[in-house]
Structure 1
Amino acid sequence: MPLSSPTVERQPLHTRSIRIQSYGRADGLWDMEAELIDTKAYDFETRGRLHRAGAPVHHMHLRVTFDAEYTIVAAEAAYDAAPYGQACSCIEPDYERLVGLNLLRGFRQRVRERFGRVQGCTHMTELSFVLPTAAVQTMANRRREQADTGQRPFQLDGCHALRVDGAVAREFYPRWYQAPEGARGPQGADVHSSSSHPTDR
């Protein structure tokens, strides 16, 4: 369902596009290639020259290679456009320091620590922040193929829809469902699910 129609006349100003493409590799690893493009809807002067509407102000690429445990084993950054040219793009090699970080274990905090402020590029770092959820989608088919591992799915309690005491968990993850406190019987028994055994949690 789309957003409601604007009720006030508006003028376009800025567009940011982020695109991610994932690949399964022949060596058993996975690649994600992320791209960020910023454009303005108007011409403007910058450092004595005219920047045309629609021409990228920022155009950046970031590729990470990760393994089955979501640990990054290779990383590469590249610039097609940046406001200060080489002064911006010279940071490219530094993003190899993403290697060793795990996409699902404190990734964004580790990135802030390594690339905060003058240690990194604001926009390249922001681009990296979209990688964890994209990695989860990249591995969705693999998770389905290995669904019966006996381990609790990591996505549970990761968002409001997937809370373990919610309707989605009750329907699609009954083994891991935990009824809300108010829905338990007089002896604390789960009145919604007979599969909520302590060993399943």
Structure 2
Amino acid sequence: MTLTTKRRLLHTRQVVCTGFERDDGLFDIEGRLLDTKGVDTEFPYGTIPANGVLHYMRVIMTVDRSLVIQQLTAVSEQAPTPVCSQINRAYSALVGVSIGPGFRKRVAERVGGIKGCTHLTELLGPMATTAIQTLAPLMRMQQRKRARRDPDYQLPGHWVIGTCHAYHPDGEAARLANEWQPIEDPAPR
């Protein structure tokens, strides 16, 4: 895409989510949100200089293999008001919530609106997707191993089927996902 109109950078938001396997069998999903201003920007609590940080927030969410949140820590390292970080503890209300259908609704019930921070709450969406992407290959590997051991076990369809246009249940990508067998499963830790 070629841009021909002159532009001036006003704001940049960067969201980075990473998934880690822990030695204790749990998984840490870490989300980081960084907002920077492209120009000097005045706020009630002061001025953010050009290239200065408006928000730097992190969430570390620990999940089990069933994608149930075991622990969640929210940290507001930089925020535009001195009261922003006071809500961080509210995110512990998500312990016990399962990532899957209805996740966003359960998040909104517990930390939506004035019960939470808009930016921390928004970060949980891509973190949930990251959790699924982190664990899905491991869960599929377990299913394939079980199918090899147990002739009565019916290997379920691939989890991605029906989640988007590309993986429409009747499409070519869905058929390939269900038929595909890796040459070798990754070595267990």
What range describes the TM-score normalised by the shorter chain of this pair? Answer: 0.7 to 0.9
Q: Distance in 2 between matches of 1:156 and 1:44?
A: 46
Describe the shift of the 1:48–1:68 C-alpha distance in structure 2 as closer, same or farther (beyond 3 A): closer
88-97 vs 144-153, which moves further: 144-153
Q: Distance in 2 between matches of 1:116 and 1:101?
A: 15
Where does residue 102 of structure 2 map in the other structure? 106
Q: Distance in 2 between matches of 1:173 and 1:137?
A: 17
Q: Distance in 2 between matches of 1:117 and 1:145?
A: 39
For residues 112-170 of structure 1, the C-alpha deviation after alignment (integer angstroms, 9 at most, x for no partner) is 11112111111110011112210121114313422424122222101111111011012
Structure 1 position 94 matched with structure 2 position 90: yes
Q: 2:5 aligns with which of 4, 8, 13?
A: 8
Where does residue 183 of structure 1 map in the other structure? none
Q: 1:168 aligns with which of 165, 168, 173?
A: 173
Q: Distance in 2 between matches of 1:53 and 1:6?
A: 23
Percentage of matched positions with identical amino acids: 37
Where does residue 14 of structure 2 map in the other structure? 17
Q: Distance in 2 between matches of 1:98 and 1:48?
A: 30
Equivalent pair of 2:33/2:55 in contact (CA under 8 Å): yes
Structure 2: 5+ residue stretches without partners: 148-154, 181-189
Structure 1: which amino acid aligns with 2:59? Answer: L
1:56-67 map, 5 Å: 56-67=53-64
Where does residue 30 of structure 2 map in the other structure? 33
Q: Distance in 1 between matches of 2:56 and 2:167?
A: 35
If asked which structure has higher relative contact order (CA below 8 Å, sep 6+), I would say: 2
Q: 1:117 aligns with which of 113, 118, 129?
A: 113
1:132-151 map, 5 Å: 132-148=128-144, 149=147, 150-151=155-156
Larger Rg: 1
Equivalent pair of 1:103/1:131 in contact (CA under 8 Å): no
Give the TM-score taking structure 2 as reference length.
Answer: 0.84
Where does residue 157 of structure 1 map in the other structure? 162
Equivalent pair of 2:55/2:79 in contact (CA under 8 Å): yes
Deviation of 1:48 (Å) = 6.4
For residues 80-131 of structure 1, the C-alpha deviation after alignment (integer angstroms, 9 at most, x for no partner) is 111112x110001110111111111311111111112111111110011112
Structure 1: 5+ residue stretches without partners: 176-201
SS in 1 for 2:139: helix
For residues 59-81 of structure 1, the C-alpha deviation after alignment (integer angstroms, 9 at most, x for no partner) is 11101100010000111000111
